[in-house]
């Protein structure tokens, strides 16, 4: 399988491996909102809402004081793509520090692969943080 990333591409065995890579875009000093793109795959017979429920259950075991603030649908990319994601708004503590997150979990057409966009901050999202999140989602263009 040919594996692509921003910096290039390389061959990997085509033996059923699942891409669980992660891209983290953070400010050098750790301030502000960190943007994370991670990847996973649906289990056999699993749909996207079931995937999200399973991931939230797993997260409950990994962090403390997890609070799901909201869960709903959000558009990703241009309207002509008609691409929808499940958006999760959560807050929790990790290593004693409060974290606030917004996530968009979605599948690309015809694939079992899942993309997860995350915006994470040590402070609640303000207008600037929400605008960054919305711009990020709206600007997505799948590779053809």
Q: What is the pLDDT of residues 24-41, one digit of tens each?
A: 999 999 888 999 999 999
pLDDT tens-digit map of 49-107: 999 999 999 999 988 899 999 999 999 999 888 899 999 999 999 888 999 999 999 99
Measured CA distances, 16 to 19, 55, 124 (Å): 10, 21, 39
Domains of the chain: 19-138 (3.40.1000.10)
Note the pTM of the prediction, 2 decimals: 0.90
Q: Rounded to whole angstroms, how far apart are CA atoms 55 and 26?
A: 23
Encode 61-127 in three state secondary structure: HHCEEEEEEEEEEEEECCHHHCEEEEEEEEEEEECCEEEEEEEEEEECCCCCEEEEEEEEECCCCCH
Mean pLDDT of 110-121: 91
């Amino acid at each position: 399988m040919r594996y692509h990333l921003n910096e290039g591409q390389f061959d990997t065995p085509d033996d059923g491996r699942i891409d669980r890579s992660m891209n983290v875009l953070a400010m050098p000093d750790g301030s502000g909102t960190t943007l994370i793109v991670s990847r996973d795959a649906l289990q056999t017979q699993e749909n996207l809402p079931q995937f999200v429920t399973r991931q939230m259950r797993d997260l409950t075991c990994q962090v403390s004081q997890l609070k799901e603030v909201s869960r709903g649908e959000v558009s990703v990319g241009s309207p002509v793509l008609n691409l929808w994601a499940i958006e999760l708004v959560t807050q929790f503590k990790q290593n004693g520090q409060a974290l606030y997150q917004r996530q968009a979990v979605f599948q690309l057409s015809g694939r079992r692969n899942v993309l997860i966009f995350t915006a994470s901050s040590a402070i609640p999202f303000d207008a600037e943080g929400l605008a960054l999140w919305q711009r990020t989602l709206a600007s997505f263009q799948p590779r053809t």
